[in-house]
Chains A and B, each alone.
Chain A
């Protein structure tokens, strides 16, 4: 069971420049936990000190938003997760 996580460019510095990470899991949360286990420095970019997803992180599964219960969203073999960060520059 493999799920691909497409990372936001701001995370590359914490993943040895890996753009896509393949993980296993039944939910978005399980997949993200695997990502964090492999690349621990990603954690502070995605979660606050209480372990809640930061409000500027947006997660999409197969192109659809997983908000509001992002981490509980079920995933299956072959799914694509995109972790994006809200941006505001002009």
Chain B
């Protein structure tokens, strides 16, 4: 049951057709895992906190640096040198004390990922490197946890939702390619993409709208265009293909 305060706080979204108090209660029961408290993570976590998910676990091992502040808006000048997870959790707790926010100061690795995501309903991929994204994808597929992917570079961003067993996964799309080096980015780009990821999470939990599955959405902020590319599950995908399923 929603409390009087909750009904007040979420009044405007409860008004949305298909949302209602039932949708809000689904959000309240949801446990969302956010991998990364950088640019994407800042935007996604802010709006998932505002919308009233039950619990957020934010995992990030980095310290806040001056060069993060152009885009990682949950971290402020006073946070330089502090852990990003704690910095994010502190702001989010003030935004909405109804949401349980947990920060974990660990690097996501093969050794700890199963334990980190255990008990969580959804994974938001807000990482800054492909190897960890693939690891999240692999575990999401294995554990049947929906994955909400976003990535940015400069004024460009992309997003994709993965429903394990049903839709193309991250490996189907990127095929294990890795990239090196520091990437350019302006803060508004992860804000746009992180909000798209949060939108997908909200829709999935509430059960409304059409998800961004089997479609790669590419945002081009320079020309202010969105393009959409059709995706297919790769039957030979080492994460979600027939061989991978056979190994389980």
Contacts and interface: CB of A to CB of B under 8 A. Distances in A.
Interface stretch (A32-40, A69-77, A79-87): A79-87
22 contacts: A8-B156, A9-B154, A9-B156, A9-B220, A9-B222, A55-B175, A56-B179, A63-B227, A65-B229, A65-B230, A65-B231, A65-B232, A85-B153, A87-B158, A88-B133, A88-B151, A88-B179, A89-B39, A89-B183, A90-B36, A90-B128, A90-B190
Contacts of A65: 229-232
B129 to A, nearest CB: 6
Nearest to B218: A84
B158 A90 contact: no
Interface of A: 6, 8-10, 19, 55-56, 60, 63-65, 67, 82, 84-90
Interface in B149-206: 150-158, 174-175, 177-179, 183, 185, 190
Contacts of A10: 154
Interface string B30-41: 000000101111
A8 B220 CA distance: 9
Given A9-B155, A65-B232, A88 B227 contact: no
Contact of B41 (A82, A86, A90): A90
B230 A89 contact: no
Contacts of B230: 63-65
Given A63-B230, A64-B230, A65-B231, A87 B152 contact: yes
Interface centre among A60, A82, A85 (most CB of B within 10 A): A60
Given A64-B229, A87-B156, 11 more contacts: A63-B227, A63-B228, A63-B230, A64-B230, A87-B152, A87-B153, A87-B179, A88-B128, A89-B151, A89-B185, A90-B40
A63 B227 CA distance: 8
A60 B158 contact: no
A85 B223 CA distance: 16
Interface residues of B, number: 38
B167 to A, nearest CB: 15
A88 B156 contact: no
A55 B190 contact: no
A6 B228 CA distance: 13
Contacts of A85: 153
A89 B149 CA distance: 11
B17 to A, nearest CB: 30
Interface in B202-228: 218, 220, 222-223, 227-228
Nearest to A85: B153
B99 interface: no
Contact of A86 (B38, B157, B179): B179
A90 B154 contact: no
B127 interface: yes
A17 to B, nearest CB: 10
B232 A90 contact: no
B40 A86 contact: no
